[in-house]
Structure 1
Amino acid sequence: MNKNILDDATQKYIDANLNADVNKIVLAKSSFEKVSSVELAQQISAKKKVQKKLPTWYNTPKIYYPAPLSIEQTSSEVTAKYKSKLAKGNILIDITGGFGVDVYYFAQEIKKVTHVEYNKDLSQIAEYNASILNVKNISFYAGDGIEYLKTTSKSFDTIYVDPARRADSGKVFMLKDCTPDVVSNLDLLLSKSSRIIIKTAPLLDISAGLSELRNVSEIHIVSVKNECKELLWVIDSNTSEEIKLQAVTINDTEKTFSFLQHESNISATFIESVSPLDYLYEPDAALLKSGAFN
């Protein structure tokens, strides 16, 4: 983290060049002795990416942005705000903290939040931004989240994990192939908390996820403007009820369609006497992903 980027003159330059060609900025000589052209281009590119995705960050002066990949992988504000309502208790740990968007919203609901991030630079950036955003109930630790859980004597009311879906061979989609491997470490997670929230990519097949996990009590399928964004798997150590699926559509308003797992197998009944009308109505992406219309 190059703190010289936060100087007033550098920040003014970044804001003035949000619509500039970053490729030209990379090739040109930097106007600042202690900030390279590549760093300037990275800050400009990242800030442009968050304008709609993270408006709170975009509209807050002197936010420090990480590499573009971290911005791509982070939750949007609307989905982070939704998942914050799923946390329970007073103490939460995010063992894959990243840029810190999720913990920012968890901190609005939970008294004590811990952000663990393997990338030391990203951990430092998230901690700095939290101070700029005036959030004071988050503690930060740079290191491996699974190793942190293995060595700490603490327990938590909720553990949140967003496994990385990239490997040396490219993107992966099975949970066991992600980092950290929540499948192999599920016993550890449940020994530290009775409630686990796992975020996965929407491409993960629900039946495949259920075959890898246990103690799943809820699956939240979240879409924003008819684009399926994420699956949220809620694991409760004491669950004995049937799995509830919740298709959540976030547009100008938020709507939820809930049903139990066995209800997805109920066949639809068609009324033969109804003639075709003028329109074909397609369910929202979250509803389609949930399997409610199979």
Structure 2
Amino acid sequence: MNLSDELKAFIRTHEADDVHSLALQAKQYADIDMQMAIRQIAGRKIAKEKIPSWHANNNIVYPKHLSMEQCSSEQTARFKASLCRGESMADLTGGFGVDCSFLAHSFKDVTYVEQQSELTEIAVHNFKILEQDIKVVNEDAVKYLSAMSPASLIYIDPARRDNTGKKTVQIDDCTPNILDIESLLEEKSEQVMIKLSPMLDISLAVRSMKSVSDVYIISVNNECKELLFIKKRGNTDKTLYHCVNIQNSNTDIYTFRKEDEDDLFLDYATKIAKYLYEPNASILKGGAYKSIAKAYSLDKLNPSSHLYVSDVLCENFPGRKFIVDNICSLNKKDVKDFLTGIKQANITTRNFPLSVQEIRKKTGLKDGGDIYIFATTLADDRKVLLICRKA
């Protein structure tokens, strides 16, 4: 699995090249394993953004594109590693090995399990390059689970594609099906960490599984990337929801219980205050629509709008913050009075009957610029445009 010095030199020379164009030039490089070279160049392009510390190591070997697409980013892998610590850990669905590698820093005895032999060969090579003492096993996840000794943590990221290669979302459409092996997982470890699709219905998943103590809704720069479910043997406490937004300079975490959210009663905003707030993607995915208002002393615009206002700026709000300059309707007079001179704006709709494209058609506004327009519905059911700038 080692790359020759000649191949590594070729990869470095052509790293910025378009891989499709390079593939067409294969005959010019008869002494180079072009299939491997192109895979490594394509892998390094992804790793540069997704796994920068691995990209910095020229000896790391990359797998096929699908495995690169499916693997966790360095940011989310580091976050997972911060959540746990113990004697032993088994990653039952090792894949490219990113999660296993970073989780390994929190455990003394680590086992990587993967049924695809090519990926296990890559893992053996890369763990050695990274100077990590990780046991690599080429085995089916359920077979290994059945025979393994108990571990402090089991990590599992079930495959979310069906037999035709189509992406799946539901737990029972994944391989392995977590619901089928719950008892076995609980028998083998007091704590199980499960990575699932960000498209999954969280409440349904919590109801479907036993002993879920925590759910981490993980976003990177306000884009929801993955859901992480923590199962603790025998847990009967209410599940904690952690809304995580990892950013370049800091990580926002907002924690709540769904039962508390459901029991909350809110008074809704009777006027548009000076500052407007849009929660980050994890909070919206988690459904903390009411508790976030109470936690930060904000007024919600409408039960279904999920936008918030206040007269005093809330600096530490976990989301985007804006100053409201104007409010208008979409009738021709208001558009003329309030939008004259504005050529472009960033438009967002929240609980509004028209799409962004339809609003652009009505207003003639192009995308971009420093102005932000939120098309939304107020507590009295008025449909309005809030014309804002960043706070």
Interval of TM-score (by shorter of Structure 1 and Structure 2): over 0.9
Match of 2:127 among 127, 130, 133: 130
Secondary structure of 2:122's counterpart equals helix
Q: CA offset at residue 135 of structure 1? A: 1.3
Q: Alpha-carbon deviations, 1:40-66, whole Å to 9, x = none?
A: 211111110110110011001211110
**1:267 is matched by which residue type in structure 2?**
F
Aligned position for 2:202: 206
Q: Residue type of the partner of 2:22?
A: I
* Residue 66 of structure 2: aligned partner: 69
Asked if the contact 1:218/1:245 (under 8 Å) is kept, the reply is: yes
TM-score, normalised to structure 1, is 0.93
Kindly indicate whether the alpha-carbon contact (under 8 Å) linking 2:7 and 2:33 is maintained by their aligned counterparts in 1: no
The answer to whether the Cα contact below 8 Å between 1:115 and 1:139 also exists between their aligned partners in 2 is yes
**Alignment map for 1:1-294 (pairs within 5 Å):** 1=1, 3=2, 6-28=3-25, 29=27, 31=29, 33=31, 35-136=32-133, 138-152=134-148, 154-169=149-164, 170-251=166-247, 252-265=249-262, 266-272=264-270, 275-277=271-273, 280-293=276-289
Query: What's the secondary structure of 1:197's corresponding residue?
Result: strand
SS in 2 for 1:164: coil
Q: Which has the higher Rg, Structure 1 or Structure 2?
A: 2
Cα distance in 1 between the residues matched to 2:266 and 2:253: 20
- Alpha-carbon deviation of 1:271? 4.5
Cα contact 1:25–1:40 (8 A) shared by 2: no
| Greater RCO (CA < 8 Å, at least 6 residues apart) | 1
Q: CA deviation at 1:231?
A: 0.6
Match of 2:348 in 1: none
Number of matched residues? 286
Write the deviation string for residues 142-163 of structure 1: whole angstroms up to 9, x where unpaired. Answer: 11111011123x1111100001
Query: How big is the shift at 1:278?
Result: 5.4
Identical-pair percentage: 35
The answer to which structure has the higher strand fraction is 2
Distance 2:281 2:269 in 1: 25
Change beyond 3 A, Cα 1:189–1:30: farther
Question: RMSD in angstroms over aligned alpha carbons?
Answer: 1.5
Contact 1:94 1:160 in 2 (8 A): yes
Q: Deviations over 1:118-137 (max 9, x none)?
A: 1111011012111111112x
The Cα offsets for residues 97-143 of structure 1, whole Å up to 9 and x where unpaired, read as: 1111111111111111100011111011012111111112x111011
Measured in 2, the distance between the counterparts of 1:53 and 1:46 equals 10
**AA aligned opposite 1:264:** E
2:212–2:229 CA contact under 8 A, matched in 1:
yes
Cα deviations by residue, 1:159-209 (Å, 9 ceiling, x for unpaired): 000011011241111101101111101111111011110001110011221
Q: 1:163 is aligned with what amino acid?
A: P
Which amino acid in 2 is paired with 1:9? E
Letter in 1 for 2:226: E
Q: So what's the TM-score if we normalise by structure 2?
A: 0.71
- 1:260 Cα shift? 1.5
